Amino acid sequence: MTRRSPLTLLEGQHLEFKCREALKKPTKIVRAIVGMLNAEGGSIWVGVEESNEIAVALEHIEKSVIERRRLGDVITETIEPSPTQTEVKLTDVPVEDTVVICIDVTPQIAHRPYAQLSRHRRSFVRRVGARNRPMARHELEEDFRRSGDATEPHHAERIAVVKKIMEVREKRRDSGHRGLFLHLQPHAELSVKIHSDSIAGLFQQWDKTGNREGGFNFVSPYVHPRKVDPRESERAIGAGWGDPPVATLWDTGRLDLSIPLDRLFFTDTQELHPLKIIEHITALFRLASVLFKHHLRDPAPTDTHVFGDLSLFGVRGRTLSSYPQSLEWVYAQIPPFETEDMLLGAPLRFGLPDILEHPDRCAFQLYRIAFHRFGREDVDIPFYDRASETLVIPE
């Protein structure tokens, strides 16, 4: 679709301009998105200079594809509930020998109110005219009431599954597990053929899921999937050492990953090994992608959502090292993690098409949060190629 130039247009209820510099610290862009999500939607142009609310100049965005994807990751991480690509769509737009980014915002009433997340609080804003203002208490109450009464398809199921995910997280923490716990849960039950002969190959052959041979994942030719809980023997299988197993798969499409804390360290230190965290998480998303593509009894509806919850239990006093380890890390003086557990404020929501086609990108959105919580930056994340949106580890 050809977009007309925004030059000479006036900011208003459904239109806002942001300069190219805003990409370096996108907090204001996210605020504008949240304001439109809580109002009537609209479009935000990034790379457009304005004067007195009128678009007066275009600013070419170098490497716009990479910048767009980076901005998309920030949006996913800092807006609650995490918007889908239908709600917030980012597009590179060539205009007059330049390339800018256009963000089309289409709110879903059932998901309101949307909040902008910061380290210490949630901010609820609504666009009124050309400004974003804090929402009043009665507006928040009205939006919460409407979302509770929403008739959007699957809304009730999604609310229920988020509650269930939080219960699973608490149960795992109460069990005394110390280490990484990743939980993927479709909003509605699927039907996975977990006892078919081909399922075993996903845990035993690296090429079946695209995971690295001999890498930090649960795949091994010596692993034999086993029934997990005698009370649920027809519903779940697991693979890997320990109890619970490293990877557990339910016939409903739920997947769990449990890695003990001592298996996340560098061998000679008590520092967390970033590649072990990254690769384990990516491996489970790749498994989910293959399962949902090829191992369902019936195809999943395209509007299916998969929620992902990541926890690191027992990490007080730990640091997340650089990879490879370097003197730069030694002198960085990043403080140890201050709380007992690293928990998400809420599970992230992924569209089924994203899981099927871009599992590495979905994994990145989760472990990126962990890196930030440990005081690390995007540049510290090793081997994730933003151009291809895949984890590329040299042999």
Proportion of the chain above pLDDT 90, given as a percent: 45
236 within 8 A of 229, measured Cβ to Cβ: yes
Question: What's the pLDDT band for 160 if we cut at 50, 70, 90?
Answer: confident
**Residue 354 covered by a domain:** yes
Choose between 253 and 267: higher pLDDT.
Answer: 253
Dist CA 293 CA 224 (whole Å) = 22
1 pLDDT more than 60:
no
**Residue 28 covered by a domain:** yes
Is 306 in the same domain as 336?
Answer: yes
Interval 371-384: pLDDT, tens? 888 888 777 888 89
Is 168 in the same domain as 311?
Answer: yes
Question: What's the pLDDT band for 155 if we cut at 50, 70, 90?
Answer: low
The tally of CA atoms less than 13 A away on the side-chain side of residue 231 is 0
Say what the pLDDT of residue 230 is.
Answer: 47
Say what the pLDDT of residue 324 is.
Answer: 67
Say what the pLDDT of residue 26 is.
Answer: 93
Say what the pLDDT of residue 368 is.
Answer: 87
Is 262 in the same domain as 177?
Answer: yes
Is 137 in the same domain as 242?
Answer: no
Which among 139, 144, 111, 146 has a CA at the least distance from the CA of 125? 139
Dist CA 274 CA 257 (whole Å) = 16
**Residue 1 covered by a domain:** no
Between strands 255-260 and 179-186, the pairing is antiparallel
Question: What's the pLDDT band for 128 if we cut at 50, 70, 90?
Answer: very high
60 within 8 A of 98, measured Cβ to Cβ: yes
Q: φ and ψ at 242, to 5 degrees?
A: 85, 175
**Residue 293 covered by a domain:** yes
Interval 54-96: pLDDT, tens? 999 999 999 898 899 889 888 988 888 888 888 999 999 998 8
**Residue 10 covered by a domain:** no
Please list, in sequence order, all residues whose beta carbon lies within 8 angstroms of the beta carbon of residue 49, skipping any fewer than 6 positions away: 17, 19, 55, 56, 57, 58, 59
Question: What's the pLDDT band for 9 if we cut at 50, 70, 90?
Answer: very high
**Residue 3 covered by a domain:** no
Question: What's the pLDDT band for 299 if we cut at 50, 70, 90?
Answer: confident
Interval 175-215: pLDDT, tens? 999 999 999 999 888 888 887 778 888 988 989 999 999 89
173 within 8 A of 313, measured Cβ to Cβ: yes
Dist CA 102 CA 89 (whole Å) = 8
Interval 264-294: pLDDT, tens? 998 777 789 999 999 999 999 999 999 999 9
DSSP codes, 153-193: TTHHHHHHHHHHHHHHHHHHHHTT--EEEEEEEESS---B-
Dist CA 134 CA 111 (whole Å) = 18
Is 173 in the same domain as 113?
Answer: no
Dist CA 344 CA 341 (whole Å) = 10
Dist CA 267 CA 295 (whole Å) = 37
Dist CA 64 CA 66 (whole Å) = 5
Say what the pLDDT of residue 242 is.
Answer: 67
Say what the pLDDT of residue 329 is.
Answer: 47
Interval 129-142: pLDDT, tens? 999 999 988 888 78
**Residue 177 covered by a domain:** yes
Domain of residue 262 covers 155-391
Is 272 in the same domain as 339?
Answer: yes
The tally of CA atoms less than 13 A away on the side-chain side of residue 200 is 10
Is 271 in the same domain as 349?
Answer: yes
Interval 163-179: pLDDT, tens? 888 899 999 999 999 99
State how many domains the chain has: 2
pTM over 0.75: no
Residue 222 CB neighbours (<10 A): 5
Which among 221, 361, 203 has a CA at the least distance from the CA of 291? 203
Dist CA 33 CA 111 (whole Å) = 14
Query: For 216-241, what is the mean pLDDT?
Result: 75
| Of 123, 148, 173, the domain-final residue | 148
Query: For 224-231, what is the mean pLDDT?
Result: 69
Question: What's the pLDDT band for 38 if we cut at 50, 70, 90?
Answer: very high
As given in the structure block, the two tokens for residue 29 are 């862009």
